[in-house]
Homo-oligomer: A and B are copies of this chain.
């Protein structure tokens, strides 16, 4: 029987743990963790994501504040706002919802966040610490993937992990995370992408396959070996006239046909997606713990 790696269920478990963990701290009653979110413009998808993050924080015991900023403000305005939050000792995490409007440089804005409050783990300093094997804040999706594997007892050390995709928020950081020393890592890691030749030969060699490509049903049955464990990061809309909204969500993996060959696989939706927000909570609490010199059990 293939194990379906249920990200919703695991997320609920971890969120309960975070809540319980917080309840053990007296400080959480008077001075709970706080996440500040900057949302520039009115992109509907971004608004939904921010709403979901706010709700998840609230239910875990984390304060949030969201700065809704019109799309036509200057880059300087956004950076000033970030610098104020950097200074504010009440703020433990700063998240800038991406994408930003085209006249604002994302690299410049992200680099303005204090690395010690970069709970998304995407500041170059934090990516460098990750690459050195001394991570402070790991980007949320890669950290969520690692947690899915670890908490389902899918052993990582010595395994061949093949990552398809080399984005800055998934492919490259998950590769850098799993190749490090340590009981939840120590994998042999291959990173494939659009320029890879003989992709099928490489994916067929994977003990753990991580698909983060953004192409619906790209990974097919003939590309994986028996008993592979599969993490599907893709969230793609494909037309479906049987649905009221005219589409359904599918991953990068042809789930129906690949599932039967796999030892374990994440569904889409309900796999990696919910874990990403959960790891944002984890990182915000971690930041709060560090800033207040507490000690606590976080990833």
Contacts and interface: CB of A to CB of B under 8 A. Distances in A.
Interface in A110-124: 123-124
A131 B173 contact: yes
This chain: how many copies in the complex? 2
A132 B189 contact: no
A270 interface: no
Interface of A: 107, 123-134, 157-158, 160, 166, 168, 172-173, 175-176, 179-181, 186-193, 195-198, 201-202, 205
Contact of A131 (B127, B158, B160): B127
A129 B124 contact: yes
A138 to B, nearest CB: 12
Nearest to A202: B188
Query: 4 tightest CB-CB pairs across the interface, nearest first?
Result: A124-B128, A128-B128, A127-B128, A190-B190
A19 B192 CA distance: 39
Contacts of A131: 124, 127-128, 130-131, 168, 172-173, 176
A134 B124 CA distance: 10
